[in-house]
Amino acid sequence: MKSLVSITDFNKDEILKVLDLAAEFENNPNQNMLENKVVASIFFEPSTRTRLSFETAVNRLGGKVIGFSDSSNTSVSKGETLKDTISMIANYADLIIMRHHIEGAARYASEISKVPVINAGDGANQHPSQTLLDMYSIKKTQGKLENLTITMIGDLKYGRTVHSLLMAMSHFNTAFKFIAPTELQMPVEYKNYLDKIGLKYSEHSELTDNISDADIIYMTRVQRERFSDLLEYEKVKNIYVLTNEMLENTKQNVKVLHPLPRVGEIDVNVDDNPKAYYFTQSLNGVYTRMAIITYVLGLK
C-alpha cells in the first residue's frame, strides 16, 4: 500500500512509471480495473477540475465513488475530528482521495488510514496529481523530459504547483527561468535546493523578452486568497498578461501550460494558438489520475 501525499513521495522511477501508465490509459481509457472497488472522494473544500477528473478516472476504471464535495453537510460540521472522519471512511472504501484546507491534513490522514490516501490538495502545501499531469503534458508535447527549459511566470511565492513541479522536474536536468514581481519571487529554499543539486536558473521581472528560449511556459494565477493585504494583491494581479504577440518570437515546440483556473493572465485570443495547451493539459489529468489510482492500489 502506498499513499501519494507529496510529489517527493515518488522517486524518479515511480514518476516515469506513472507517466507510462497514463499514456496506456490515454490509448485505452475504459478498463474495468476497479470493478468491485469503492473509492471515497472527500473534498472538504471546493474544487471543479480536480474532483471531477478524479471521479471521471474512477468511473472509467469501473469503480464506485462515494464521498462529498462540501463538508458542511457532514459530521465535520458537528465538530468531528479529522482522525475520526478518516478512520471511519477508511472502513468503507478501498482508497481515499481527499482535499482539505488544512496543510498537512493528507499526510496525517495517510498515517491514520488503513487504505491508501491520494492528496488532491492540502491548503497551500501540496497537489501532487497536478504535478504528475503537468509532467505528462510536458512529456507528451516535447517527447522527453530531459534537458528542457521551463519558464515559470506569475505567483512563484505562494503557488504550490510551481514548487512541486520544480522539485519533480529537478530529476531531469531542467533549466528554470523564473519571472515574477519582487513580492512573489520563488522562495529561497527552492533556489538553495537548485544550487545544491547544480541546476541552472535565472530570475527576471519582465515577461516580454524572457520567453524566447522556453520549451514550456508555465503560467500561474496570482491567487487573491493568499494575500492578507488586498492592496498588495491589486498591485500585482494583472502584472503579466500573455498575448499572441508575445508568443510570435518563441520556439516552435513551445507549449503554454496553466494549472487553471485562469483569470486574466492569458489573453483569451491565445486559446486558439497552437502553442496553447492548457485545456488539453486538464484532459490529461484524467489519464494521469487513472494511472495514479491504479499504481497506489498496486493494480499496475
Sign of CA dihedral 220, 267, 260, 63: negative
Least Å distance, CB 166 to another protein, is 14
Binders of another protein among 235-294, rule CB under 8 A? none
Smaller CB separation from another protein, 33 or 124: 124
* Three-state SS at 153: strand
Least Å distance, CB 17 to another protein, is 23
CB atoms within 10 A of CB 178: 23
Site string for another protein, 5-24 (x = CB under 8 A): -x------------------
Least Å distance, CB 86 to another protein, is 10
| Pairwise CA distance, residues 88 & 113, whole Å | 9
Smaller CB separation from another protein, 113 or 126: 126
Binders of another protein among 91-150, rule CB under 8 A? 101-105, 107-108, 122-126
Instruction: Let me know if 203 is exposed, middle or buried by CB neighbors in 10 A (0-12, 13-18, 19+).
Output: middle
Residues 125 and 104 sit within 8 Å (Cβ to Cβ):
yes
Sheet holding 64-68, edge to edge: 64-68, 38-43, 95-100, 117-122
From the list 80, 94, 69, 22, the residue with the least C-alpha distance to 292 is 22
Smaller CB separation from another protein, 182 or 192: 192
Least Å distance, CB 4 to another protein, is 14
What amino acid occupies position 283?
L
| Total site size for another protein, rule CB under 8 A | 17
What amino acid occupies position 135?
M
Binders of another protein among 164-203, rule CB under 8 A? 189
Smaller CB separation from another protein, 3 or 282: 3
Smaller CB separation from another protein, 101 or 144: 101
Least Å distance, CB 165 to another protein, is 15
The grid coordinates of residue 140 equal: 507528451
Least Å distance, CB 299 to another protein, is 28
From the list 269, 215, 235, 237, the residue with the least C-alpha distance to 154 is 237
Binders of another protein among 46-85, rule CB under 8 A? 81-83
280: Cβ contacts below 8 Å, ≥ 6 apart: 137
What amino acid occupies position 219?
M
Smaller CB separation from another protein, 151 or 223: 223
Least Å distance, CB 76 to another protein, is 12
Contact residues: another protein, CB under 8 A: 6, 81-83, 101-105, 107-108, 122-126, 189
